[in-house]
């Protein structure tokens, strides 16, 4: 067992604290998403309204996802270039991964808008089939000597299914007009895709300069602050497919994850664990202090204010610092057995609740929607649902079902 002062680091190929951070985040996400349908609970168990200058723990779940993307991005880029040094192929990977997240986001965002009279199936059934088709395309298939081409065939079937279902989609607008997909909000997965692409545009060309992520982070916080203060207003008028940076809020959280990754998994292996933990803690506290200093600009997830970003970053850094000490230095990971699938098979775990909701809606099963939906009974139901989803993710992962962009 390593002591606190020894100059050791975990292998960059697998940093357990990153997986467990992701697993904890997705477990809380499943819980709070289901809890949103329960009534009669304290105000801090829901997202804070846009007009109120406050944020709850629920408002930090999405930023933690973005932060986790930044944590793993430098390691993933380094490993991909180690396996294949082609920069064009790297950019193809970045583009395809971003597009995949955006497509999945559009499926989830449009599920409740489909017009069954025009599509021939309900929006829930459409979304269920679209996610299954996407899963066929995204699944990591084990190799087979007997049927070496089966994986390619299944992926092509999945891709064709997604294309056909997108072509079939129709909705009716408020004015009674027939329309295709609503692209105004790409859901959380789509927002992550745009943010990932935006940060990759900045990070990859400057990845060899260790100071660059911190500079980009400061500039993105500045963009968010100036946009929130309405000193500059162009970001709110540009669509994300043209300007994926938005007002700078989401990319700055991803970039903060990259800065944190450099602190803990950087190239300077001479730093001892005590110094690494001290630096991480100082960075987290500094983010909280910076958020407090910018609080006059507002505190709101919905308005994506800089204080929301910085408070979320500070909390994320401090949580990751604690996990790094527990999981990578002390090597105590047994306690996280239930969330391991969420950390290592994140996309599948993320989509499982949606697959369940779309399946039950398609079958007309509404019992759980109409029962145990108030007060602490609703909390108990939500806890059970979260545990079932995490166990299902673990079982599917053991069965070699793994989704990867």
- Average pLDDT, stretch 211-225? 97
Q: What is the pLDDT of residues 299-318, one digit of tens each?
A: 999 999 999 999 999 999 99
The length of the chain, given as a count of residues: 405
Query: ∠ at Cα 238 (234, 244), nearest 5°?
Result: 110
pLDDT of 6 reads 37
Q: How far apart are CA 326 and CA 323, in angstroms?
A: 5
Q: What is the pLDDT of residues 58-77, one digit of tens each?
A: 999 999 999 999 999 999 99
Which residues are CB-contacts of 227 (< 8 A; sequence separation ≥ 6)? 233, 235, 236, 247, 248
Q: Could you report how far apart the first and last alpha carbons of the chain are, in Å?
A: 35
pLDDT of 236 reads 86
Please give the C-alpha separations between residue 214 and each of 55, 206, 209, 286, in angstroms, as whole numbers.
Answer: 25, 11, 10, 13
Q: Please say if the pLDDT value at position 8 is more than 60.
A: no
SS3 label, residue 120: coil
Q: Please say if the pLDDT value at position 271 is more than 70.
A: no
| Residue of 306, 322, 327, 343 whose CA lies nearest to 260 | 322
pLDDT of 2 reads 40
pLDDT of 58 reads 96
pLDDT of 11 reads 45
Q: Please say if the pLDDT value at position 147 is more than 90.
A: no
pLDDT of 405 reads 83
pLDDT of 5 reads 37
Q: At CB < 8 A and 24+ separation, what contacts does 362-369 make? A: 362/122, 362/124, 362/125, 362/128, 369/37
Q: Please say if the pLDDT value at position 246 is more than 90.
A: yes
DSSP 141: P
- The tokens describing 227, both together, are 């946009």
Q: How far apart are CA 235 and CA 164, in angstroms?
A: 34
Confidence at 273, pLDDT banded by 50, 70, 90? confident
pLDDT of 282 reads 97
Q: How far apart are CA 326 and CA 328, in angstroms?
A: 6
pLDDT of 7 reads 36
Please give the C-alpha separations between residue 190 and each of 184, 187, 245, 312, in angstroms, as whole numbers.
Answer: 11, 5, 13, 20
Do 139 and 351 touch, CB atoms closer than 8 A? no
Q: How far apart are CA 295 and CA 235, in angstroms?
A: 21
DSSP 324: I
pLDDT of 120 reads 92
Q: Please say if the pLDDT value at position 90 is more than 70.
A: yes
More confident residue, 360 or 265: 360
Share of the chain above pLDDT 70, in %: 95
pLDDT of 40 reads 92
- Average pLDDT, stretch 344-356? 96
Confidence at 14, pLDDT banded by 50, 70, 90? low
C-alpha torsion sign, points 44, 46, 47, 51: negative
DSSP 296: G
Query: ∠ at Cα 269 (264, 274), nearest 5°?
Result: 55
Of 1-5, 128-132, 203-207, 348-352, give the lowest mean pLDDT range: 1-5
């Amino acid at each position: 067992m390593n002591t606190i002062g020894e100059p050791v680091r975990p292998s960059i190929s697998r940093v357990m604290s990153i997986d467990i951070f992701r697993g904890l985040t997705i477990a809380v996400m499943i819980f709070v998403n289901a809890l949103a349908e329960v009534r009669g609970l304290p105000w801090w168990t829901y997202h804070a309204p846009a007009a109120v200058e406050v944020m709850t723990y629920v408002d930090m779940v999405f930023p933690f996802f973005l932060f986790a993307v930044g944590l793993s991005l430098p390691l993933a880029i380094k490993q991909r270039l180690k396996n294949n040094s082609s920069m064009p192929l790297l950019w193809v990977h970045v583009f395809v991964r971003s597009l995949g997240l955006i497509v999945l986001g559009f499926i989830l965002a449009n599920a409740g808008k489909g017009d069954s009279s025009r599509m021939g199936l309900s929006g829930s059934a459409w979304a269920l089939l679209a996610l299954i088709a996407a899963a066929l395309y995204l699944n990591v298939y084990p190799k087979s000597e007997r049927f070496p081409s089966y994986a390619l065939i299944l992926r092509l079937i999945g891709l064709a299914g997604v294309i056909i279902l997108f072509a079939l989609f129709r909705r009716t607008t408020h004015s009674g007009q027939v329309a295709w997909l609503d692209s105004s909000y790409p859901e959380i997965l789509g927002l992550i895709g745009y943010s990932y692409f935006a940060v990759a545009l900045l990070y990859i060309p400057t990845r060899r300069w260790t100071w660059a992520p911190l500079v980009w982070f400061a500039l993105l916080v500045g963009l968010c602050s100036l946009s929130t203060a309405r000193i500059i207003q162009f970001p709110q008028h540009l669509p994300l497919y043209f300007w994926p940076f938005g007002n700078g809020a989401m990319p700055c959280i991803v970039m903060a994850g990259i800065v944190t990754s450099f602190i803990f998994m950087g190239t300077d292996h001479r730093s001892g664990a005590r110094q690494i933990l001290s630096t991480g803690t100082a960075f987290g506290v500094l983010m909280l202090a910076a958020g407090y200093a910018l609080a006059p600009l507002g505190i709101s997830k919905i308005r994506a204010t800089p204080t929301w970003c910085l408070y979320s970053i500070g909390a994320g850094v401090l949580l990751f610092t604690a996990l790094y000490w527990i999981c990578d230095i002390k090597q105590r990971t047994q306690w996280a057995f239930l969330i391991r699938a969420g950390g290592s098979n994140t996309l599948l775990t993320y989509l499982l609740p949606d697959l369940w909701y779309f399946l039950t809606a398609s079958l007309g099963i509404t019992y759980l929607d109409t029962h145990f939906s108030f007060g602490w009974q609703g909390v108990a139901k939500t806890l059970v649902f979260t545990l079932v989803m995490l166990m299902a993710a673990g079982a599917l992962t053991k069965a070699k079902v793994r989704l990867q962009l």
